Amino acid sequence: MTSTTISPSVWLRAIRAPSLTATFAPCAATALLGYVSGWTIDPGLALFSVLGVLAVQIGVNLMNDVEDDQRGIDVPGTLGGSGVLQARLVSPATLRRAAWGAFAVGFALGLPALIAEPGLLALVAIAALGAWGYSGGPGLKYRGLGDLAVVALCGPVLTAGFALAAFGHVASSVLGLGIAFGFAALGILHVNNFQDMRVDAAHGAKTVALALGTGGSRAYLVIMYAIALGAWPVGAALASLPWPAVVIPLAAAIPIGSLLRRLLGATTAADASGLQAPTLALVRIEAAKVHLALGALISLGLIVSLI
């Protein structure tokens, strides 16, 4: 199958379009934080930077599908990846080329900000290495290092990088924002790994979930969501931001609590086919919704602060 025969709906599925809020939400919240803080924004660089990080995430999503498929981790009957390879809607070679194309687009879009703000070089280098090495190259996610990569790349590296690109400025509040988003993104990854423990173990993938086991993974989830919930209110308070920015995001405790109740009562027992845990079906989507809800509430708190 060639790329010219692939429908737009298949590409949207392949890039996992709903997951792109994981990079858009932190950028939007950082932009609002800068506005509340009175920083001067460069609209052009901000727009290019947002589009650039979205392109990079698309590249990571596509490459992750290819690598998981080749390692036999994503197979028919599991909930991993987009499923386009398992359904034979697109070839691995086409998806790999698209991934590298997305990385190239992301770099090109980020180049103007890098030229304007050379201080971005270190963050861009970290992001580039992490994006390439997450599932490709050294395969960080298969060596138990995926958690560290996600917290950094979807958290402080992302918010600090966007703040530098859009405002030429980084403050401690930006890092607090990054920690919140980073650990919320880690929740998505760990929920996924928690569900896939049996499949990962069967194919030699090393994850923190496997290292911790069922009981340890549950405790790990509680800790990471506690950090995700508390990091931004603490950071906002220390930055002396208006009270809505501190208080409103705490409402994320409701969806977080609902998700944790389900996870703490779940097991990783596989169904009759041995492919997935029925008690955790679609729970990764709920984790993504928690990340989106946290981002929406942080943004709402900053917007109300301006009124």
Radius of gyration of the chain from Cα atoms? 19
What is the predicted pLDDT for the residue at 267? 59
What is the predicted pLDDT for the residue at 270? 42
What is the predicted pLDDT for the residue at 136? 76
Judged by phi (left if over 0) then psi (alpha if -120 to 50, else beta), residue 40 lies in beta
What is the predicted pLDDT for the residue at 211? 87
Domain boundaries, the chain: 11-306
The DSSP annotation for the chain comes to: --GGG--HHHHHHHTTGGGGHHHHHHHHHHHHHHHHHTPPP-HHHHHHHHHHHHHHHHHHHHHHHHHHHHTT-S-TTS--S-STTTTTSS-HHHHHHHHHHHHHHHHHHHHHHHHH-GGGHHHHHHHHHHHHHTTSTT-GGGBT-HHHHHHHHTTHHHHHHHHHHHHS---HHHHHHHHHHHHHHHHHHHHHHHHTHHHHHHTT-B-HHHHHHHHHHHHHHHHHHHHHHHHHHHHHHHTT--HHHHHGGGGGHHHHHHHHHHHHT------TTSS--GGGTTHHHHHHHHHHHHHHHHHHHHHHHH-
pLDDT, tens digit, 9 for 90 and up, residues 76-102 = 555 557 778 877 889 989 999 999 999
What is the predicted pLDDT for the residue at 78? 55
What is the predicted pLDDT for the residue at 107? 93
pLDDT, tens digit, 9 for 90 and up, residues 151-184 = 999 999 999 999 999 999 899 999 999 999 999 9
What is the predicted pLDDT for the residue at 199? 74
What is the predicted pLDDT for the residue at 262? 83
Distance of CA 97 to the CA centre of its chain: 22
Neighbours of 220 (CB within 10 A): 19
What tens-digit pLDDT sequence spans the chain (307 residues)?
A: 444 578 889 999 899 888 898 899 999 999 999 999 999 999 999 999 999 999 999 999 999 888 877 876 655 555 557 778 877 889 989 999 999 999 999 999 999 999 999 889 999 899 888 888 887 777 777 787 888 989 999 999 999 999 999 999 899 999 999 999 999 999 988 888 887 777 777 777 788 888 888 889 889 999 999 999 999 999 999 999 999 999 999 999 999 999 998 888 765 544 433 334 555 667 878 898 999 999 999 999 999 998 8
pTM: 0.88
